[in-house]
């Protein structure tokens, strides 16, 4: 309905109510209205109609959305009616020298009942009748604080929402059994399975945006015991700034279930290293490399070079950064292979970066078992080429992206990454460049991680394949991995190996079960199949070997490993002769070199 039609309807309705009310008021007190009373009634009616509409416009009664009427709208009606009655009383006193108090009081009561009723009736119809025609699903709200209260109010108002809040759970003892907008707090979070069953809950909404990852994990463990779908309310800051609405829920992500809060940054120290500096990122098109580029861009470098072998991936990150930062700093995409020594030296000599983040590597464990020569060429020689270019042209800091698989490695990939660490540690002994390495756990969502594979298997109807029921891994998010790289560069003194405190290792099978649940299925529907350990895999990973452990954290959640002695001549022998060795010999050599080097004597 247009505003003009709506205005005409409300003005006409109010006029009829005013005239009816004052007539009833006079009729109740004087059924046989005298001429004088009739004259005063007409004058009072005209005065009331005019004054009512005047105050209705002042208090914007004709501009309010009455389907959402509440206490504020009721007060506006009260003010408009009371003041219009007061004007009628003044007119009566001026013309008659007396005020018909009982008549005006009855008129005031009828005004309030009829005008208020006409407005609030639409809300009642909307809340009760219209909503009853929509099939809605029962929702349990976790958290009866400000966010949960806001959410319930919005769900009750929103006629288009498919969710109907039927209960709260909250661990605050003072809130137990309280009702908020008619919704009762039925218990603590530990009672979630019981409440879901008794109240026929279809959806569980976690409405405590400030929860830590540990707390989310605990709540989700209770939610996972039910068949209800679990979602999380967005951050209050995002709601206030208009990024999302209150009822724009997101699914619980696997990242929420790591059981720890993400690592934070020392902004000042990183800013000193990156702001107005020239930065080179190798492997810039990969999942880790591209996120490093995004994080670096926040610090407004002078120049950011995106180096990678695949033109499509480099094009993608180049366009993304140009759309956001083109006018802030220079962005240079470079197509190059780290195995091409001359090309790498030319790039570093031409641009003379202040910091190099070396993320280019082959990282797929089973693939490298079948292709050990390629692992050596890319992970060892490629690192050597970039590191020696950094040393030659005076780069201040070089950060190698390594892996926890470099600790006591049982596979080619981990062994070549450990040898790459040896390469930069050897260079660091006589270089002005600070060479450091950063060891990652498994990065959730990165290319080759288990999450994309599990998701594809779930979408295909299952089963999800897990290698072994007892296999565990450390996990971190892509942003965490990138932050650790930058923080390591800021902390670098030369020769260190930095690791992140990633909490307790997670069972792969538990990760699979959670992902199945998060995807809206049960374990029975999808199924889990144990495929056996693949070539080169370990049952568990380590972050530092016994000889490398250094107990003190150099930054919250960041530890540093001690430098372990090794014979670099054995590394040099591999680099100089790998192309003459057969595949099996290379595999044995890199494993021996990365572990107990005395074993190489037997080869």
What DSSP string describes 152-221? HHHHHH-TT-SEEEEEEE-S-GGGTT-EETTEEE---GGGHHHHHHHTT--EEEE--TT--HHHHHHHHH
Beta carbons of 195 and 167 less than 8 angstroms apart: yes
Chain mean position to CA 258: 13
Chain mean position to CA 395: 36
**Strand-strand pairing, 278-282 and 497-500:** unpaired
Beta carbons of 314 and 335 less than 8 angstroms apart: yes
227 is catalytic: no
Task: Classify burial at 474, counting beta carbons within 10 Å of its beta carbon; exposed 0-12, middle 13-18, buried 19 or more.
Answer: buried
Residue tagged active-site, from 363, 377, 405, 557:
405
As a whole number of Å, the CA-based R_g of the chain is 36
The tokens of 65 are what?
Answer: 């959305």
The tokens of 422 are what?
Answer: 């040896």
d(CA 603, CA 597): 11
Buried b (16+ CB within 10 A) or exposed e, 202-224: bbbbbbbbebebebbbebbebbb
Beta carbons of 305 and 314 less than 8 angstroms apart: no
Catalytic positions, written as ranges: 405
């Amino acid at each position: 309905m247009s505003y003009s039609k709506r205005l005409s309807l409300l003005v006409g309705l109010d006029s009829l109510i005013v005239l009816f009310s004052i007539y009833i008021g006079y009729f109740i007190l004087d059924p046989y209205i005298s001429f004088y009373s009739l004259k005063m009634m007409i004058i009072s009616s005209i005065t009331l109609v005019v004054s009512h509409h005047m105050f209705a416009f002042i208090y914007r009664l004709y501009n309010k959305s009455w389907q959402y009427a509440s206490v504020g709208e009721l007060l506006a009606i009260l003010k408009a009616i009371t003041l219009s009655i007061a004007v009628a009383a003044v007119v009566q006193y001026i013309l008659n020298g007396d005020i018909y108090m009982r008549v005006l009081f009855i008129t005031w009561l009828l005004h309030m009942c009829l005008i208020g009723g006409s407005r609030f009736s639409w809300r009642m119809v909307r809340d009760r009748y219209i909503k009853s025609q929509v099939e809605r699903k029962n929702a349990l709200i976790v958290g009866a604080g400000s966010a949960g209260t806001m959410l319930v109010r919005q769900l009750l108002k929103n006629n288009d929402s498919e969710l109907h809040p039927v209960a709260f759970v909250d661990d605050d003892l003072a809130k137990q059994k309280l009702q908020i907008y008619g919704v009762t707090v039925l218990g603590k979070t530990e009672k979630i399975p019981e409440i879901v069953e008794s109240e026929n809950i279809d959806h569980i909404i976690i409405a405590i945006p400030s929860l830590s990852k540990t707390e989310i994990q605990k709540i989700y463990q209770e939610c996972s015991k039910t068949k209800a779908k679990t979602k999380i309310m967005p951050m209050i800051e995002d709601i206030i700034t208009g990024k999302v609405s209150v009822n724009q829920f997101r699914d619980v992500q696997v990242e929420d279930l790591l059981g720890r809060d993400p690592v934070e940054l020392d902004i000042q120290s990183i800013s000193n290293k990156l702001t107005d500096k020239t930065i080179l990122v190798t492997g810039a098109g990969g999942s880790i490399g591209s996120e490093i580029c995004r994080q670096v861009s926040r610090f407004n470098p002078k120049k950011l070079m995106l180096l990678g072998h695949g033109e499509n991936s480099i094009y993608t990150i180049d366009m993304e950064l140009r759309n956001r930062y083109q006018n802030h700093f220079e962005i240079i995409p470079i197509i190059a292979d780290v195995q091409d020594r001359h090309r790498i030296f030319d790039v570093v000599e031409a641009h003379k970066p202040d910091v190099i983040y070396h993320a280019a590597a082959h990282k797929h464990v089973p693939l490298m078992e079948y292709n050990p020569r390629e692992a050596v060429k890319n992970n060892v020689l490629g690192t050597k080429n970039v590191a020696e270019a950094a040393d030659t042209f005076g780069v201040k800091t070089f950060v190698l992206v390594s892996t926890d698989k470099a600790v006591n490695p049982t596979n080619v990939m981990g062994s070549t990454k450990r040898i790459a660490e040896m390469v930069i540690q050897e260079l660091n002994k006589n270089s002005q460049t600070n060479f450091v390495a950063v060891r990652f756990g498994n990065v959730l969502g990165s290319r080759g991680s288990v999450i994309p594979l599990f998701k594809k298997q779930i979408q295909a109807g299952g089963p999800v394949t897990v290698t072994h029921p007892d296999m565990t891994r450390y996990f971190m998010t892509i942003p965490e991995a990138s932050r650790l790289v930058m923080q390591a560069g800021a902390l670098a003194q030369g020769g260190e190996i930095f690791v992140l405190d990633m909490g307790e290792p997670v069972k792969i099978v538990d990760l699979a079960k959670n992902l199945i649940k998060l995807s809206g299925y049960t374990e029975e529907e999808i199924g889990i199949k144990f495929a056996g350990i693949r070539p080169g895999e370990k049952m568990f990973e380590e972050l530092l070997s016994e000889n490398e452990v250094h107990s003190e954290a150099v930054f919250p959640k960041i530890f540093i490993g001690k430098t372990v002695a090794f014979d670099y001549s054995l590394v040099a022998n591999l680099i100089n002769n790998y192309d003459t060795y057969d595949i099996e010999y290379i595999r044995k050599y890199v494993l021996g070199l990365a572990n107990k080097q005395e074993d190489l004597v037997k080869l």
